[in-house]
Amino acid sequence: MKRYILALTVLASGGLAFAQSGSEATDSVNQEQSQTVVKALFEYPVAPAEITGLQEKSDWLMEHFWDGFNPKKLKSVDQSALNHAFFVYATPMQWADKEKSIASVDRLIESLKKNPALMLQMTKAAEETLYGPRATMWIDEIYVRFLEALVKQKKLKDFHKARYQFQLDRLKGSMEGSVAPDFSFVKPDGTPARFTPTGNYTLIEFGDPDCYDCTMAKLKLDTDAKVSDLLRTGRLNICFIIPGMDEGWQEQLKDYPEKWVVGASEDVDEIYDIRLTPTFYIIGPDHKIQYKNLPLDRVVSILKAIE
């Protein structure tokens, strides 16, 4: 809620407090020493007073946020100001109707098609809010639309598009609703193996055995009675995969539960979107990714609901 309040309260400002993430932006409003003043690109719109509901306000902003922004008159803009504008724009997507958000993004992208330099800047702004390490929210299906539009830009050189093409390939192959990709890995005894979705539920955890959160995940999953029962009866598989094969990884896996499939993969992070440590994927009996990038408590809650 704080981020939404921030998005609304700064709409009429001429100079805006800009920070690197949603929580930091909220906290830094009252911390002068951590602020950087950024001049707004345009006057941000405010939903009419008669619109009172959170979703209704968010829907209105999706429709009208960029009304005061005319890319036809611009070659490029200040990147920090654009990053802030995109953050304010994207925040209500968390409550807006999904289709309205997608339609809004498609209109924005369409307006940028003849301005490849500004399209690149807008994609950088989207990355800052929706994908990168400082992102305040991850909305893959929105970010993918910017990536698809950018890589189609014939007037941009390949070196401008290469990292975004990599992001697109990795995201499109591992989005919720898509079939979970196969990947190769090596078991601790050196045996080569391959992950392929099966006909039951599978939890894949990509992590590092030395990280605290991964240790806590192992403990919680291994000691939960319902999860143990699902494993025992074959209704659930659990895989723990280390992305990379640093020296000594086999020793790190020696204490993992016997019923888990464990190993390491050199190139799995080129196939799956792995931005967290640990990263969890829940794959359904239909071989499709049902959930990704969830916190551990939510993962356990979903697994315990399996019949």
Question: Which CATH number fits the domain that encloses residue 229?
Answer: 3.40.30.10
| Domain annotation covers residue 177 | no
Burial-class residue 135 by CB neighbours within 10 Å (0-12, 13-18, 19+): buried
Give the CA count within 13 Å in the CB-facing half-sphere of 260.
23
265-284: average pLDDT: 95
Distance CA 78, CA 67 (A): 18
Q: What is the DSSP string of 157-212?
A: -HHHHHHHHHHHHHHHTT-TTSBPPPEEEE-TTS-EEEE---SSEEEEEE--TTSH
pLDDT, one tens digit per residue, over 18-63 is 333 333 333 433 443 445 677 888 999 999 999 999 999 999 999 9
Burial-class residue 215 by CB neighbours within 10 Å (0-12, 13-18, 19+): middle
Do 231 and 293 reside in the same domain of the chain? yes
pLDDT > 90 in the chain, percent? 80
Q: Is residue 218 predicted with pLDDT exceeding 50?
A: yes
CB-based contact 238:231 (threshold 8 Å): yes
Do 152 and 226 reside in the same domain of the chain? no
- Secondary structure class of 67 (helix, strand, coil): helix
Q: Is residue 68 predicted with pLDDT exceeding 60?
A: yes
pLDDT, one tens digit per residue, over 78-102 is 999 999 999 999 999 999 999 999 9
Do 112 and 241 reside in the same domain of the chain? no
Burial-class residue 263 by CB neighbours within 10 Å (0-12, 13-18, 19+): buried
| Domain annotation covers residue 286 | yes
Backbone φ, ψ for residue 280 (5° rounding): -110, 140
> Which domain does 50 fall in, by range?
2-172
pLDDT, one tens digit per residue, over 103-158 is 999 999 999 999 999 999 999 999 999 998 889 899 999 999 999 999 999 999 99
Do 10 and 66 reside in the same domain of the chain? yes
Q: How many domains does the chain have?
A: 2
Give the pLDDT score at 199.
Answer: 83
